[in-house]
Amino acid sequence: MEKATFAGGCFWCMVTPFEELPGIHGIVSGYMGGILENPTYEQVKTGKSGHAEVVQITFDSDIFPYEKLLELYWPQIDPTDADGQFQDRGSQYRPVIFYHNEKQKKLAEESKQIIINSGRFKKPIVTAIEPAVAFYEAEDYHQDYHKKNEKHYKEDRKQSGRDEFIQQNWK
């Protein structure tokens, strides 16, 4: 089993693209990249802790290779916006690929270069690629939020502008 960690705005919206796929053994919402140990959601949402909201995926790379995860990741985000994603603003919502080994780093950099070379976006691609550091699991009420609070999740996602962006820029 390997780990992959992606930040792409609100972690609630980053779970569903990776769910229920062969070789995916778990998706946990959490925080990475900040200065506090064991941060709370209340600390992270201020933007002062330095953490990004992330999803950490446990996967079997023989069944679902990391390259496929990257192919799913990019169309979930606006790779030109380093200051948040969609309606979620602030560094805690910045897009980041946190790599867990040199192979993941290489593949992430290659995938970013493909996006740059595609000419799909007029603005620069600013999604960061950084080494994975301590991962802190988010509070229980954030795990599987889209299932536990389906109505609120759907309303929030609709208001975010994420789906419209994806449709306009990635389809």
Read off the DSSP letter of residue 93.
Answer: G
Residue 10 annotated among the catalytic residues of the structure: yes
Report phi then psi at 170, rounded to 5.
-120, -15
* 41/121 Cα distance (integer angstroms): 32
Sign, CA dihedral 157-96-104-25, equals negative
Read off the DSSP letter of residue 63.
Answer: T
Judge whether 6 and 98 are in contact, CB under 8 Å. yes
Catalytic residue among 4, 5, 9, 10: 10
Please enumerate in sequence order all residues whose Cβ is within 8 A of that of 139, keeping only pairs 6 or more positions apart, or say none. Answer: 40, 41
Give catalytic residues, as residue numbers.
Answer: 10
